[in-house]
Structures are given as C-alpha cells and as structure tokens.
Amino acid sequence: MNNKRILLFLSIALIISSSTIFAQKKKLQRADDAFEAGEYFDAIDLYKDAYAAIRDRSVKTGVVFHIAECYRHTNQSARAELWYKKAVGQDYPDPLAVLYYAESLKKNDKYEDAITEFTIYKDLVPDDPRGDEGITSCELALQWKENSVGYKITDMKYFNSRQRDFSLAYARDDYKSVYFTSSREDANGNKTHGATGQSFTDIFESKLDRKGKWSVPLALDETINTEFEEGTPSITGDYNTMFFTRCEMSKRKKLGCVIMSTTRTADGWGKAKALDILPDSLVAAHPAVSKDGLTLLFVSNMKGGLGLNDIWKVERSPSGDWGEPVNMGPEINTEGNELFPYIHEDGSIYFSSDRHMGMGGLDIFRATAVEGGGWNVENMRYPINSSADDFGIIFEDKLERGFFSSTRKGRGNDDIFAFALPPLKFKINGVVIDRRTENIVPNAIVKLIGSDGITLEDETGDDGSFGFNLKPNTDYIFLATKPGYLITKGRETTKGQEKSKDFRMTLEIAAIDKPIELPNIFYDFGKYDLRPESMVALDRLVEVLNDNANITIELGSHTDIRDSEEFNLQLSQKRAQSVIDYLISKDIAADRLVAKGYGESMPKIVDPKNEKNYPFLKDGDVLDEKFINSLKTREEQEIVHQLNRRTEMKVLRTDYGTVE
C-alpha cells in the first residue's frame, strides 16, 4: 500500500470515528434533554440506545445511573434496583447510587438487604442522616409487618384498570358515589405522558347500586376533563364545590399544575376556574378542602418551603377571598416530598411522605393537633402502608373505613384499595379451680363488673368454665364465689388493645374448711420483722379480707424444726403478730384478727400442688423430723424446711358484723 492510499485510509477512518462520536453525543444529549424535562419514561429508551454505542467506561457508568434514576422516577422499583446495582458494581462515584439502591431494595420489600446498603451509605457519608434513618425505618417495617394493625384491605377491582387509578373523593353524602383519578383508555387526553408512558389522567365517577356493586367508571364531562391532565378531586361537605388539579404540558417542558374549582349546578358541574392562590409560574396541586369549605390544603414546590414538595394551607374569609399561603411547618413538612393531603372530619390531617420514617416509598401519615400548637405525626403502619407507594387516603365520615391508593401490586401502576377497621371483639373464657387441690369447681358464681357500669353473672358448668363478651376500652373485675369458699377476685382490661382478642383467666378460690397458706411472706433468718417484699402479698390479703367482710381469721405462723421448740414458738408468735399489726395498719378491724404462733408443732402436710412441684413428695406426706431424716440429699431437706416455714390463714367465723 503506497503512502497516498495509507493517508486516504486514515482520513476515512478519522471521518467515520468523528461521525460516530458525534452521533453518540447527539443520542446522549437527547436522552439528557428528556431527563431534564422530567420525561423519564421517554428518556429510558434514549439512554439505552446511547449506551450501546458508548465506549468510554465512565460515561457508560453515568448512563447506567441515569437509567436507574428514570426507573426510580417512574416507580419501577424492581428495574431501578437492577440498574442501581449495576451502577454501584461499576463504581459509580456518587454515593447517592448506594443510597438509591438501598431505597429501591426497601421499596421491593427486601428490608434485610436494604439495611446492608444503608449501612454502607452511612459509612460513605456519615453526616447524612438518611443512612441511619434508612436502617431504622427498615427495622421498624419488619416489626410493623410482624405486628400489623387490624385494618382489612380489599383490592377494588371495580375501579382498577391496567393504567393508573388513584386519589378518590366521595361525591355524595350517602357515600355511594366516588370520583377518582385515572389514566385508563377512556380518558379524554389522547397524548402520552413523557414521564409515565401513559395517557393523561381524567376524573372518573363510579356509583354503588342497591346490590352493593360499583358501576363501570365513567369520565366526567368536558366541563371538568380536557385534553390536559385532571385529577385529585376534593369536595366540600355540602357536595356543591369541587377542587381538583389540572396540569398542562408541552413537549420537553415540565408540567405546570394549578388548582381548579367548580360549583354544582342543576345541570351538573359548572365551568371550572383556576384558583387564584399562587402566581401563574408556580405549581399548586393535590387540593384538600375542609368540610366547611373555609380551609384548603395543597402541595407546592414554591419558594419558602422546607423540601422538594411541601403542604401549604390557605383560608377563605367570609367574603370568599383566599388568604396568603402558610406552610404547614416542620412537624409535617420535611426535606423530601409531602403529598396528597386530606382533612379528616375530626380535624386531623392525613398525608403521604417519602421522608418521614416509613416502610417504603410514600407512606401515609396521620397528624393530630397538639394542645398549644404544632402537630403530632404518626405512621399508619402495616397494612395501610407497605414497601410500595401508599397515598391518597379518604375516610367515610368519622368511620374507620374508606379508600387509599397504592403501587403495592408490583406493576408500578397506582391502584385503589378499600380499607376497614372491623369492630374490635373481645371475649374472656375462664375456669374456676380449688386453690389447694387445683380441681375444677362447678356451680360457682362469677360476677363481671365493668368500668362502664355493666354487671353480669355466669355460673360455672361441670367443667368449671365461665365466659363473657367484653367491650373495648373498659376495665373489668371478676368475682368468683361459692358457699364454703372465700370470694376471689381477678382483673382484666381491654384498654390499649388495638386488635380483637380472646382472653383467658383462671380464678383460684380457697375452701374455708382447711387453713389457707399465704405465699410470699418473708422474714430474715431468726427475725420477725416483715421484709419489704412481704408487703405486696399482705396487701393482697387486705383485699381478700375487704372482699370477704363477714369472716374472722386466725393468722398462724409456722417454723421449721431447727433451733429449740421454745425459741421457734416465741418466734412464730411474734411473726404472726407482725402480720396482724400490718393488717390493722391497713384498717382491718382488730377484732377480726387472731395471731397464733405454732412453732414447729404442726409440720406441713403435702398437698397435690406440692406433689406437682416436688416429685420426691407425695400427697399426704407429713413433713416431720422423721420424714426429713429419711431424705437422701441436703437439697431435698432444705426444700422441706422451706415448706414448713409458712404463714397460714384459718377462717374462724363467717358471721362477722351480723346483727344478732
């Protein structure tokens, strides 16, 4: 090959190479332009087309990250996870790739893996609280899923389509008509949204018939729906005024959204007008109006906010003019996105956020006013919230039921779900047994006394059982009694219970024909002063004496066989008297009480409960010196000494206070 041919070949190669590089840059620029315009769905294919032709490794890694970003912005979390993983694997230099990879794992319900990535991000950027917050939120999500609140969730297949369906409003006071937002094929807007790849949204209506079936959703007429996007309706308590969002769009320009209002007429909704609450250049969306129509919440990224999108409030004067927007403050708004507000009948506010401590993408939160100003914000938890985006909640009046929107089905599309909190149901089933023998006690009377003033009775059957239905948020006392037994008491409460529950109770009643041993009466060795832990057991005895005001008792104290008989007799008498003195200090009448020290003179006789706890003992064994000396181990002997050291109550009379 001569020099001329070589030069010609190099020139052609250079031209081809320059043309290829130019084409690559042009493709990448088109992708970047779409991304900057918020047309993430369109940008995905543009980036993938550019990626195939790029040779520079660092540029290719940047494209991978941007593809992941597009999937994140279009709520395709499974694909976002895949591409963020590629970006991290290719050492993309921005730590945000690790953070967003962690958040994608979290949105895909992979909490353990997400904790690992949040920990890595925390090490990379220790000053960013999102690392610690991500770890904590994943740990909470795992706990919340294990201990879900009692809401029942239903997929509203009547409403949902293959496209996006979200953000409802009740349209009538009987709650049998709803409006919601949808991008289904019947929507008026025939353009494709560059950010989502779906048609523009419109507002649709569905009605509930007498058979409890929702009708096929139909789009509202052209007075509401246009070629642009309409959605997120909110209606006043008289159902005569509706607010909604309208977003206009042109190619390669970001959406501009305004809040529209319309008034109901005899023929339907009147012409919608833009609400004059912000300058034309600012975005206002997601209106939420109070029942009285005097307060409006909305979402905006206007200057003066605390994050990407904040919730703002405007109030209307009696003349009908709206005041200046006021930011809802740092208890509600964060550095992230606060969206889809709703004003509840009780004055609380519901909204969604991707920065408050949550389970995934957007979580639904409830904000209640704090006395003196401010808000207390709490996560609605699982199953209202999930690892996906959850938002747009509404309630049927003051009832704990309504609708919300979610991407939890995993397709990236918004769907509508119904929720309801079934009435809490509580029941208690119990059994009455003999305290000494642990045998069931039939034909005992169990009385229920509720803090709401309700009193009920039940008689135990042959199996000793009883049962009652209980009410929420109520304290209960249960009294069991039978002739020949002391009245015994049990307590239960349904206060603080967030889930339905079946309670179990065992009431031990003590027969009065034999001494009743009092547990947990303790003294120091060789002393008769009551130890502090004995006071709890004696307070229970005070309660028994108050419940059984007709009895007179002997309080008997027993020692083991160690030390002399005379010393043990004196010690036991002093111990018995110390108990009597305590009872008198608690306002038990002295003439109902007799102190008796028995020393070592009455060894304990083993009962079935002792036999159950100590296999080397048999029912009826007398724990005297002969029996103790027959035991093989010092440990067994010490157990018997302990059993002999006891305090017992004997019922002497059951007619105290009776007028003769």
Opening angle at CA 601, ends 599 and 606, nearest 5 = 105
Beta carbons within 10 angstroms of residue 488's beta carbon: 22
d(CA 202, CA 245): 10
19 in a structural domain? no
Output phi, psi for 468, to 5 deg: -145, 150
pLDDT score of 658: 76
Note whether 339 and 195 are same-domain residues: yes
pLDDT score of 318: 83
Residue pair 161/155 in contact by the 8 Å Cβ criterion:
no
pLDDT score of 21: 53
Beta carbons within 10 angstroms of residue 452's beta carbon: 10
Of 363, 397, 420, which one is at a domain's C-terminal end? 420
pLDDT score of 12: 45
Of 361, 396, 420, which one is at a domain's C-terminal end? 420
Residue pair 97/72 in contact by the 8 Å Cβ criterion:
no
pLDDT score of 196: 65
DSSP lists the bridge partners of residue 367 as 349, 377
11 in a structural domain? no
Largest CA distance in the chain: 143
Q: What is the DSSP string of 400-446?
A: SEEEEEE-TTTTS--EEEEEE-PPP-EEEEEEEEETTT--B-TT-EE
d(CA 154, CA 163): 18
pLDDT < 70: residue spans in the chain: 1-24, 189-197, 249-255, 410-412, 659-660
Note whether 286 and 363 are same-domain residues: yes
Note whether 138 and 168 are same-domain residues: no
Note whether 232 and 267 are same-domain residues: yes
Note whether 480 and 522 are same-domain residues: no
Note whether 463 and 580 are same-domain residues: no
658 in a structural domain? no
Residue pair 217/206 in contact by the 8 Å Cβ criterion:
yes
356 in a structural domain? yes
Of the chain, the end-to-end C-alpha distance in Å amounts to 141
Output phi, psi for 94, to 5 deg: -80, 120
Q: What confidence tens digit (pLDDT) does each residue in 203-256 have?
A: 999 999 999 999 999 999 999 999 999 999 999 999 999 999 999 865 545 557
Note whether 141 and 156 are same-domain residues: no
6 in a structural domain? no
Residue 524 belongs to a domain with what CATH number?
3.30.1330.60
404 in a structural domain? yes
Residue 459 belongs to a domain with what CATH number?
2.60.40.1120
Output phi, psi for 503, to 5 deg: -90, 155
pLDDT score of 14: 43
172, 174, 301, 182: which is closest to 232 by C-alpha?
A: 182
Number of domains composing the chain: 4
331, 330, 335, 289: which is closest to 309 by C-alpha?
A: 335
580, 558, 554: which is closest to 569 by C-alpha?
A: 558
312 in a structural domain? yes
pLDDT score of 189: 64
Note whether 533 and 632 are same-domain residues: yes
Torsion, CA 605, CA 610, CA 612, CA 618, rounded to 10: -30
pLDDT score of 509: 95
d(CA 550, CA 535): 23
pTM beyond 0.85: the answer is no
Note whether 202 and 318 are same-domain residues: yes
Note whether 403 and 445 are same-domain residues: no
Q: At what angle do helices 40-53 and 3-36 cross, to 10 degrees?
A: 160
**Domain, as residue range, for 86:** 28-146
pLDDT score of 13: 42
2 in a structural domain? no
Residue 305 belongs to a domain with what CATH number?
2.120.10.30
Q: What confidence tens digit (pLDDT) does each residue in 255-269 have?
A: 579 999 999 999 899
Note whether 341 and 231 are same-domain residues: yes
Of 458, 474, 509, which one is at a domain's C-terminal end? 509
Note whether 578 and 614 are same-domain residues: yes
